[in-house]
Structure 1
Amino acid sequence: MDLILPPAPWRARAGLAALTTVLGAAAGDARFVGGAVRDTLLGLEVSDVDIATRLTPDRVVERLRAAGIRAVPTGLAHGTVTAVLPSGPVEVTTLRRDVATDGRHAVVAFSDDWREDAARRDFTMNALYADPLSGEVFDYHGGRTDIAAGRVRFIGDPHRRIAEDHLRILRFFRFQARFGTTVDGDGLAACAARANDLMALSRERIAAELLKLLVARDAVAVIRLMVDHAILRAVLPEIAPDGVDRLARLEAAETRARIAPDAIRRLAALLPAEAADGVGARLKLSNADRKRLVAARTGIGDEGPRGLAWRAGIESAVDRLLLADQPIDDLRNWTPPRLPVTGGTLVARGLAKGPDVARTLRALETAWIAQGFPAALPDQLVEDAIIANAASGESGRA
């Protein structure tokens, strides 16, 4: 019995029906493909829509422009044109077959054979197509069965699929963490055997996949599986079993706090504190993410959650508290206030500009935090701090 794609909100996206008409859906020249089909069958929300077509890229561009649809040639060498609709972009890719691969890049030839296009894809659950008009689902490699079984399975020989694109090792585990309930033994064995192939990938590609994996539904169990099979040893040797235990505790803390998982915070849990900066640099994280990764493992101090948040910022405080398995309730809906004393106030009260002002402000900050961030500080406290720090400055210059 034919499987029909269930109704889903994305199928009513503005401009999508017109696009499939322009691409020849009525003649069987265009089908929805990949994640949109897979996630709809799983009852999940769909964000990205991809269309596969038998039309060559130049014909796709020609038809889109003739219909007044903006066409962006985002990857013509690989047959991809982005159609910009009122509801957002849709990638349109010509059916392909691989001519040559080196694990990082592929040379492709265009095709008009749906089965040939399906055979070059990574996993069976990603090689599903659906007719835009009838909704009929086309499954050439048993993807429907694997979806039902919660099994991420390579199409054909897993070793060959990995040799074509080494990133598929990380994708296998990311998809396992998102969709899997059982582990495909052949796929796991192939990933373990070829784990060193990851060294040939750019660090940016590794980071992108790893960060997506870390926030997936079953990330902790899958990361533990990867560590147990030495999948990441070639590119992230710093990750050790105790790091996975920290990740598990963090996941539990996030759940108790009813806070969404965060990839940088979870990466920090996996790493020894002393390795955070080096890993951030090696993965070419942004400067902000790299600083956050390092800060997450620097401890929580003794000034309480709000004191930590005032000094380090809310985001960093949340990271540190959750990693320390401490509650974050005091930070909910809390906006750090301003210190009710400024450097100008101190100068106006007779303190010389320069180090004395900075030192006095630091002392007043500590007192203010200890008192629970009052709207004003007692005049005597301010005066005592001025005298003490002025005297300290004189002593230091003696």
Structure 2
Amino acid sequence: MDDLISAALNFAPEQNFVIADDKDLIYSSTMESGEIKELLAMPPIESYEIATINNEEFFIIELSSKHSNLSYFNIVELDNINDQKAYISLMIFLYIFFMVIVTIFISRQSAKAISKPIERLTKNVKKVQEGNFEVVPDHNQEFLKDEIGDLQENFYVMVDKINSLIKENYEKQLIIKETEYRALQAQINPHFFYNTLDSIHWMAKVSDQKKIAEMAEALGSMMRGMVSKKGPLITVGEELAIVESYITIQQSRYNERLVFRLYCEEQLKKASIPKLTIQPIIENAIKHGLEEMIEPCKIEVYIERYGNDLMIYVRDDGVGISAKKIEQILNGTVVSKGTGIGLNNIHERIRLLYGDDYGITITSKESKGTTLFVTIPFIEE
């Protein structure tokens, strides 16, 4: 019967099970007879009760049958319950302690994942404040996919653009300094130079050397036009006066080989233009066009107004320029053979003064000639 009841009810080893008919014992699993007598002598238990039997405390549950006088008692020593309670409390405490440790670890890792990018960004911001803009990360670096990552990426994009602007401004300042230096060189003791040219001019006239006199006079006029104005801008009329003096000198040298034509309406001569824009272009056409051929070379200059822009065309029927050489000219890698003011210098000065929408463009066909276009805003002085 013990085996049957144990298999059917599956009691724990520390539990005692008693079946009684009124006050008569029917079955007891492990309790001794003296303990059973005390149990049966107790008044009826409504649900459960803690009672002392044979000087030991027990937790007793009584259940009465609805169909007979049988009573079922489930009895557990109170010490066993307290031990189990202490064990469960310990397990709960250990579990809570473990969860607290895990939570702290995860929180610290999460805090590091958030704070480290912010600390790195703050450090780089301080570097930028101190003037160090070399904080742009590798382009393959991946940022967090959140607001902090967006902040990092936008910061580095901003620094990269600042670097580009600093570099661009530095290059433009070098061009300005170079131009100012060349202008300063041209102004060294100009009166002595003019007086010498005047002396040559009058000596040539006295000696009836008309060509020498014309060349000396043209050179003096040309140099006065170049250095008399201190600012970067002169009128188209003043620029054309420099051009005419330069052409006079070159025609004395090349004679019939140089055919020059100028087309400009009178009202356009009051417009402003960067100093030494047209003359170096014509000089470039002579050096790279006329000097590369035996036949006469025709150079034509057209100055026209299109809306709010002033367009200058310089066209020659020389040997032409290859596309690669055009790129080198505009990049400044081709060294000028003339005054030292290359087309790249003119192009950059125009962009510096008026913006990237203006400047020089070149079209050319080899053995057919070259056309150079200068675009600047139309501004009357």
**What band does the TM-score fall into relative to the shorter chain?**
under 0.3
Normalized against structure 1, the TM-score is what?
0.20
Q: Which structure carries more strand by proportion?
A: 2
